[in-house]
Chain A
Amino acid sequence: MNPSLQPYLIEREPYYRAAGNEVALFAAAFARGLPMMLKGPTGCGKTRFIEHMAWRLKRPLITLACNEDMAASDLVGRYLLDVQGTVWHDGPLTTAVRHGAICYLDEVVEARQDTTVVIHPLTDERRMLPLDKRGELVKAHPDFRLVVSYNPGYQSVAKDMKPSTRQRFGAIDFDFPAPALETEVVAHESGVNPALALQLVKIAEQSRALRGRGLDEGISTRMLVHAGALIAEGIGVHDACALAMTTPITDDRDLLVALAGFVEAQFGPRR
C-alpha cells in the first residue's frame, strides 16, 4: 500500500452492531467492485458502518463531506503554485483512485449534480478517471472502491441524484435498528445500563412516530448515545434528555412540550 494512505487506515475496530445481513452484503459487493450507496436517516449509523467495513476489509478510508459549493476540482485536484512554478495536487478522489482506497462521499446529494458527474467513468466498466487539466488518464487501482451516502428524508426535490448517477450504484437501506438492538448499541456506546438505554430508545420511538407530523426526523441513535453518555457522567436524566435529545431536534414550542411528555412517560415528572 502506498505510504501516503497510511493515515487513512483505521487501526482499532469501530463498534458496529449489525442489524441484518448488511455486513455480508457489503463485503460481497466490495469483492465484486460494485460502487455502493448507503441510504438512511441521519444518525442511524451509516458512517459508522463504512468505518467498520474499512477496518474489517483493511482498506484506507478517505471521507469527503459534500456541500453545495464543492466543485469538480475539489474532488479530482488542481494545479497550485510553488516556488518553481505550478504543481499538480491530487484531490481526495484522485488519491483514492490512484493508490487504492475507499472513497466515501458523505451526503452526496448536497453536492451539485454537475459535480458528481465526474464519478461516472469511475463507476462503470471503465474504472478510470480522466484528468483533463493534466492530460492524464488515471486507471483505478484494483483496491479502489467508491461509497456514497445520503439521507432520503429531508432532501428537497431540487437536490436529488441524476438517474444516470443512481443507476451505477448498489444500495443498502439503513434505518434505526429494532428496539432490542438499538438498546444494545446505546448501552455499549454510552455506558449506561441496558434498562436505562431501553427507556431512552422508547422515547426515541415515540418521537419517530411524529415524523411527518411536525418533525422532519425523529430522535436518532446518535442523540441517544449522547444523552446516555451525559447520564453516565452523572447528569440528571431529564436534563440530559433535554440537552441531547429534545431541545436540539425542534424549535416548535408545542412539539417540545410533547417531547418533554415522552421523557416524562419514561422517567416520571421532573422533580
Chain B
Amino acid sequence: MTGNGNLLTRRLDVLRGIDRPTFDVLLADPAWHDGLGATDAASLVDLLAQVASEASDAALALASRLGDLIATVPDPNGLRKWALHGLQRHQHHPKARLRYFERDDPRPFADQESDADSADLLARRAALQAYLGGFGVVTHGIELHEPQATGQPPPAPALADDVIRFPRRCAVTSTQADRAALYRASIAHIAAHLRHSPLARLAGSRRPMLLATIALIEDARVERLMLRDYPGLRSLWGVFHTATRETAGFDYAGLAARLARALHDPAYVDSNAWVQKGRALFEDAAATDLQDVAAFEAVGRQLAIDVEKMRLPLLPSYRPQPPYRDDNALLWNMNAALPLDDEATAPREDYEFRSRDQLPADLSNVDVDTRRRTRHPEWDHRLDALREDWTTVIESGPAAYRGAVNRFAQKPVRRVRGLEQTPDRSIRLNRLAEGDELDLTAAVDGAIQQRSRLAPDGRIFRRHGRRHRATAVVLLMDLSVSTRRFVPGSFTTVLEAEKRAARVVAQALDSGRDRVAVHGFSSNGRHEVNYQRIKDFDEPFGAEQQSRLAALQGSLSTRMGAALRHASAALVGQTVDHKVILMLTDGEPSDVDVVEDEHLVEDARHAVASAAAQGIRTFCLTLDRQADAYVRRIFGSRNYLIADRADALAGHTGDALVRLVAH
C-alpha cells in the first residue's frame, strides 16, 4: 500500500475514534471513494470527522449520502465548502442543520464560475461602496446573494433595509471592464430609487403583472430624474439596453425590455404598437412633471391592461431588464413579504417551548452568562478561504483572584535598555557644536563676539531631536493543559516558567512610554476559546494583577490562531510606534474539534500574516524542543526562539523583547 493509502487508513482510524456509527456507515458502502485519489478521500474523511465532532446526526446523514454527493459534485472542495456553510449557518438550529445535511444541494458550491464572480465582486466591494457613498447613500452595505441552485437564472440585484445584494454569478460574463460597468450601473440605478422612489408602497391586491409594469415605468422615471444630475449615466446605462425586435422576442419579458430601451434611448425605433404606446404615454407624463408618481402609476396600469388583453403571461423567471436593474422588491410592501432566501423563513429555533415541570423552580438561581464574546474567522488552507466568524473567543471578566498568594520573590527589576530612538522634527536642539544646519541666531552671536574680540562660542549648529519610540506589547500565554507538565530536566512546570517570563516583561518596560498587556488563552473547541486579561494595557502590574498571574491554571487546548487574532484586535487600537505580540507556548496548536494535522498550524500562520498586515509583529518563545517544524512555519524563520531550559525562558524573553523593540 502506498503512503497515501496509509494516510486514508489513518484518517479512518481517527474517524472511528470520534464517531463509530458514521464510520460503520462509511465502511458499509466502500464504493464512495472509487473515483477519488487517496488524498481527496482522506480529506473527505477529515471533513466527516469535523462534522461529527460538532453534530453526529449530521455526520451520519452526510456519510449515508456521500456516494451520491460525490457522483453529483466531483470536486471535494465544493463539498467541503457546502458542509462548512451548513455547520456555520445552522450552528444554533440542530434540526435545520440535520435537514441541511440530509437534503440540501451542494452543487452551487462547486460552481467555479460563480465562485470567480463572487470573488471579483468582493474585490471591488470597497470601490463600489465608495461609489455608492458619492450618491449620498451611506446606509447600505454591499453583499452577495445566498448561493443559488444551478439551472435557475441568476437573481437580480436586490435592495433590503441596509444592504444591497448582488448575484453570485455576474450576468455579463465577458470582460472585466464590462463587469465593473454593470456593477456601477446597478448601484447608480439603486441610488436613483433611493433618491426618487416612494418605497414600500402597499401592494394590496394588485396582480404581479401590474406590479411588474408599474415598476418598469418607475425604473425609467427615476433614471430620467437621475440623469438631470448625472448626465453621463445615460451612456453607462445605455450599454446594457440591447433589446431589439429580433433579439428580445414578443413575450412579456421581451416587450418589457424593448419598452425599457425605448424609454431610455430616444433614437431607438420600435415597430411594436404596445412599445410605441408606452413611450408616448410616458413622454406625455414626463413632459408635465417627472415627480408626479400617481401619473406614472396610471401609465403603468394602462400598459398592464393592454398586456393582459394580449394574453401574455408573466413567467416566474421574469427579471427586470436590462440586467443591471434590481428586482424592485423595495417598491412594494407585500404585507407578507416574499422571502429573499430561506434565512427569513427558517423556523426560529432560538426559542424552545418547555413544559412547565422542566422549568427551573427558582429563576433567580439561573446564572446569566455576561462574558464578552467575540467572533473571529479561521483560515482553511485547503479551500484557500477564510471561514468567517468561525471561532468564538470568550473573555472572562475580572474575576476575584484575591485568594491566591503572590509567591514571587521580589527580585530587582530588570529594565530593558539599548532601545533605539527615532528622529522627531518637533524637538529642536539649538546651539550645538555640530549638527545638520546652522543655528542662525547663534552664528550671528558668534560673529559679533568675534568682531568685538571676545572668544567666540563655537556652538553654532542645530539639529532635530530624537525621542523614544513607544511600544505596545501583548504577552500571550498558552494556558492549555500541557503547560502543567514539568519542563524536561527541571522541577518547574511550563506554566511556572511562563509566569516568570510574563513577570519579566511586565516589569521590564518603562510604563511611562510603553504599554504592556499580559493575556492568556486556552480553548475547548471553536465555540469556546477562553481568553483572560491578566494585566491589561491600562492597568498597573500591581498586587491584584500579580495574584491573578499567580492563580493561573493550565487546562484545555491551544487554538493559537483565534487567540492571535484576538490579541491583534486588542493591539490595533493602540497609538504607538511598535506593536508586538509575544507568544509563550509549549507545543503545537491543537483543539478538540480539529482532526486535520495542518489546519490549526496554517490558521495560526494566517493569523500571524494578518497581524503583520496591520503592523503588528509576532514573536514566539517555546519550550518545545521539537518545535522547529511548525514554529518556523507559523512565525517565520527569524521570529521564534526555542528555550530548552526552564530557567532560561525568562532571560530569553527579555532578550527577545529588546530585539523586537529595538528594530
Contact = CB atoms under 8 A, between A and B. Distances in A.
Contacts of B448: 79, 81, 85-86
B625 interface: no
A199 B231 contact: yes
B222 interface: no
B130 A255 contact: yes
B232 interface: yes
B138 A257 contact: no
A78 B134 contact: no
B439 to A, nearest CB: 10
Contacts of A136: none
B232 A81 contact: no
B133 interface: yes
Contacts of A267: 231-232
A80 interface: yes
Contacts of A257: 124, 127, 130-131, 180
A202 B232 CA distance: 11
A265 B231 CA distance: 6
Chain A CB count within 10 A is highest, among B134, B425, B428, B451, for B134
Given A255-B130, A261-B131, A268-B236, A202 B124 contact: no
A218 B135 CA distance: 14
Q: Is the interface of B mostly helix, strand, loop or mixed?
A: helix
A112 interface: yes
B440 interface: yes
A73 B131 CA distance: 49
B239 A80 contact: no
B275 interface: no
A78 B441 contact: yes
A210 interface: yes
A119 interface: no
A78 B468 CA distance: 34
Interface in A50-103: 68-69, 73, 78-81, 85-86
B426 A112 contact: yes
B425 A214 contact: no
A31 interface: no
Contacts of B428: 69
Interface string A204-224: 001101100110000000000
A266 B230 contact: yes
A202 B230 CA distance: 8
A269 B236 contact: yes
Contact of A255 (B127, B136, B138, B229): B127
A206 B231 contact: no
B233 interface: yes
Given A206-B134, A213-B133, A80 B444 contact: yes
B447 interface: yes
Chain B CB count within 10 A is highest, among A81, A202, A265, for A265
B232 A265 contact: yes
A206 B181 contact: no
Interface string A235-271: 0000000000000000001110111011111111100
A207 B130 CA distance: 9
Contacts of A69: 425, 428
A187 B289 CA distance: 30
A214 B130 CA distance: 8
B457 to A, nearest CB: 16
B184 interface: yes
A263 B232 contact: yes
A15 B447 CA distance: 48
A269 B131 contact: no
A159 to B, nearest CB: 10
B444 A268 contact: no
Interface string B421-433: 0000110100000
B234 interface: yes
Contact of A68 (B130, B232, B426): B426
A268 B235 contact: yes
Contact of A258 (B134, B138, B229): B134
Nearest to A86: B448
Nearest to A237: B232
Question: Interface size bucket, B side?
Answer: 20 to 34
B203 interface: no
B188 interface: yes
A109 B239 CA distance: 50
Interface in A161-208: 199, 202, 206-207
Contacts of B444: 78-81, 86
Chain B CB count within 10 A is highest, among A81, A257, A258, for A258
B340 interface: no
Contacts of A268: 231-236
Nearest to A257: B127
B130 A258 contact: yes
A254 B233 contact: no
Contacts of B232: 199, 263-269
B124 to A, nearest CB: 7
Given A255-B130, A266-B231, A261 B440 contact: no
Given A210-B134, A265-B188, A254 B236 contact: no
A141 to B, nearest CB: 27
B229 A202 contact: yes
B134 A81 contact: no
A259 B127 CA distance: 9
Contacts of A255: 127, 130
B135 A206 contact: yes
B293 interface: no
B126 interface: yes
Given A68-B426, A209-B136, A265 B130 contact: no
B127 A265 contact: no
Contacts of B229: 202
A257 B128 CA distance: 8
Given A73-B441, A85-B451, A213 B130 contact: yes
Contacts of A254: 124, 126-127, 129-130
Contacts of A209: 133-136, 138
Chain B CB count within 10 A is highest, among A261, A264, A266, A269, for A261
Chain B CB count within 10 A is highest, among A112, A207, A262, for A262
B594 to A, nearest CB: 35
Given A213-B130, A257-B127, A258-B127, A68 B181 contact: no
A255 B132 CA distance: 11
Interface string B132-165: 0111101000000000000000000000000000
B451 A261 contact: no
A214 B180 CA distance: 20
Interface in B179-202: 180-181, 184, 188
Contacts of A79: 444, 448
Given A206-B134, A210-B134, A213-B130, A265 B440 contact: no
A73 B448 CA distance: 18
Given A206-B134, A268-B236, A269-B181, 7 more contacts: A68-B425, A81-B447, A85-B451, A209-B138, A254-B124, A257-B124, A259-B134
The 10 closest A-B pairs by CB, nearest first: A258-B130, A206-B134, A268-B235, A257-B127, A254-B127, A254-B126, A265-B230, A258-B131, A268-B232, A266-B232
16 contacts: A69-B428, A73-B441, A78-B440, A79-B448, A85-B448, A112-B426, A199-B232, A202-B230, A207-B134, A254-B124, A258-B131, A259-B134, A262-B134, A265-B230, A268-B234, A269-B239
Interface of B: 124, 126-131, 133-136, 138, 180-181, 184, 188, 229-236, 239, 425-426, 428, 440-441, 444, 447-448, 451
Interface of A: 68-69, 73, 78-81, 85-86, 112, 199, 202, 206-207, 209-210, 213-214, 253-255, 257-259, 261-269
